[in-house]
Structure 1
Amino acid sequence: MESKYSKEETDRFVEIDGIRLHYNEAGDGPALICTHGGGPGANAWDNTKWVLDALAENFRVLLVDMPGFGESQMHVSRQDVPMDIFCARLKKGLADHLGLGTVHLYGSSAFSAAALRFGIDYPGRVGRIVIQAYAPSQHPGPTPGLKAVGAFAKEPTPANMEAMMEQFTPNPDLRTPEALAARFRAANRPDHLASRTEMNAGSNSDLVEELRSLTAKVLVTWGNHDGMIPVAGVLAALEEIPDVQAHVWGGNSGHFVATEHPAEFARLVTDFLLK
């Protein structure tokens, strides 16, 4: 079911540190900044729209496209700053611009590190953190999913998109023609594929040692059949993050648990952030 909030009515644009960012905003309450993953076509609206209605009942939800993704500025250089540090600074700049004090954070996959980095570098500004399919020490080799991402980035065809989405979402009932078409359009947005090379998971810092200073509570979420990032990483996350709990969905769940289990995901996140 589509969100009662339309993308158009919630679209916002702002310039932070000279970079044009796009985000969608809905709801009232404590601020919750949500970002997306790093695969071709990733964007915050499509990543989180299925849980927007429920989250907006309790939070001021900001779905933020990182540079090179969605409708944010393309061809942004990090100037060799690690991606987690670069993006955490942008999120703090956005919070400052909007007059937000403490914020909760939700980061998915490649941009989970930026959410954790925010908590490390700005402990007075962070509430709680939710991450998806990410463990600090996990450096997955050429998984079938990552191979499919590389194949699509090299040759962005509908067939390669379908092969990539099979790894993201193993349940065929959820890989609708509409979902595939939307992701394909987003992945072929002008300059996106070239721009995302500057914002890749490999450019994140090694957070394992620095995480010892993280005081924020963290919730890790994952799907048992994630073809991109192996779910075994959840055990590493439980060892490495000081104050952490985890929720893993079974039943052929994949990389996008917020899309695959929207009602449960929204309840879980809401309870975690508010308790």
Structure 2
Amino acid sequence: MTLEATHLLAAASGFLGMLMIYKFISPRVVPLWFPAYHALPWEKQIQVNEIFMAGSHSVVVCISSWVAYFTVEELKPTTLWYDCALTRHTSAFFWGYSIADLLLMICHPHFGDVYFLMHHVVSLIAGYLGMASISIPYYVNVFLMMELTNPFVNFRFMLKALGYPEKSLLFSCTGVLIFITWWIARLGPIPIYAYHMAQLMSTGGFFKIELSMQLTSVLGYAFFTVLNLAWFRVIIKLFQREIRGLIQQGHSMAKRVQQETNSKKGG
């Protein structure tokens, strides 16, 4: 495992940059879109700032990892070693952010429960190995690609913290987008990942990489899979509720249009 100065700079930017967003940018930007921010108690404001920080990080990681997936030809399930600069620097940025968010969680325990804490600890390990190692970069990138869901998850959390109406169209749309992206980035890849990993093991190549990467690529992914499946139970209920809400809103809108049309004809 070798680290270069650019990897450490990427990690530092993830750590310091996200803390700056939390401390300085979010308190100034969020009120421009949602004036209700100023009326929130202090505890809610710092919660919104943390959510905004998490969402900002997820946009960066999501874009970088999916760009790598579609543009870097060497990112293949059979590749044992390849120094993918984009994946390693994205992992470094992710690692730096994870440290920042874990520190905030320790300072403000109400930010998350024990499952989020476990999630962040495993993320720290996976992020560091993805930054420091050149082994199985395809599988490292699959971890990062899960961030596709998080811009929508964090935006919904922020709307809820701001007291945004849960029956609004914007709130409903986020629920639908979470359901779709969860399938694309978290559930759909599970059998594909398992198949390719089994193929790698059957050829013996998997056992040539360092033990830390072996354990993380199997146990780490299994951990995230369990969490993703558990959270998906909640997302299914959320999706069903949002679809019903969108249908009701569509019926209400159609009735209003019909009433306006009839009133114009009557006039």
TM-score by length of 1: 0.24
Query: What TM-score do the two structures reach when normalised by structure 2?
Result: 0.25
Q: Choose 1 or 2 for highest CA Rg.
A: 2
More strand by share: 1
Report which of the two has the higher share of helix. 2
